Structure 1
Amino acid sequence: MAYDEGLTERIRQRLGADPDIAEKRMFGGIAFLHHGNMAVGVSGDDLMVRVGPEATDEALARPGARIFDMAGRPMRGWVVVTGSAVAEDEALGEWIDEGTRSRRACRPSEDRVAASPGSIARPVPCHAAIRPPKACSAASTVACSDSASAPARERRFTP
């Protein structure tokens, strides 16, 4: 899916030469990251904005906003704003400010790593609680997960 180059350029102009902002192709579009955390992005003609879970309802009340839905799974803390709702520079600026404000509240992603002894370190969202690994049973074959958020996989144990 292509993304709106005009909207992308307007975002670049608004963000200026901020050294804390990086661009990365994501979701078939382009994302603007603050210290590795996505703040805003463009997918198709729409603007994606990270508003944080606590500000989702307020953001959804604004014109042109809807919940960000990835593969049928609504993502609280994210909204998609129609391109027509950000046609004016002032409206676009307000959404960009909201996205960068919510990202500045988080630690840089390179510092947000949770690992248990013997596991591979994985980034953890700033709003997620870090949970200890689940224990595996001593059965010969069990479904096990290294962390509460990791997908289960099969492990074989030799008695």
Structure 2
Amino acid sequence: MKFKVKTLPNYRIVYVRRVGPYGPENIEVMEKLKEWAREKNLLKSAILLAIPQDNPETTLPENCRFDACIVISEDSQMDDSICESELSGGKYLIYEIKHTAEDIQKAYAEIFPSIQSYGYQIDNKPILERYTGDMINNPYCEICVPVKP
């Protein structure tokens, strides 16, 4: 699989969290976030992130956390209607893939075995699915894997 190496900045984010098995319900969480962002006029030039916080191979399905996030500017004023946090930036391997359940599953299966062969180790940060620009309306996303040399 082809990838680019990029340094991502720190992101100030707001998010909606779901706890439970990863699957189609995650789409509902993202739609809820998009609806909130539309009401605040934040969706037009947005960076959306989907963050599976837990490894389903080591975490019970009912305890897996999924965050649907939108990057906001430092000067944005938020209220208590949504959770806020910050993601620390750093070096990431960026894989652009079709955003279908089949393609995402295939990508995750191929990404991890190949990382070490390129001389990288996964950093202790969450893996991000990133949607920017046209990706929000088209079936593509970037899987961003945090790495350290």
Do the structures match in fold with TM over 0.5? Answer: no
Pick 1 or 2: higher relative contact order, CA cutoff 8 A, min separation 6: 2
TM-score normalised by L of structure 1:
0.25
**Structure with max Cα Rg:** 1
TM-score normalised by L of structure 2:
0.26
Q: Which has the higher strand share?
A: 2
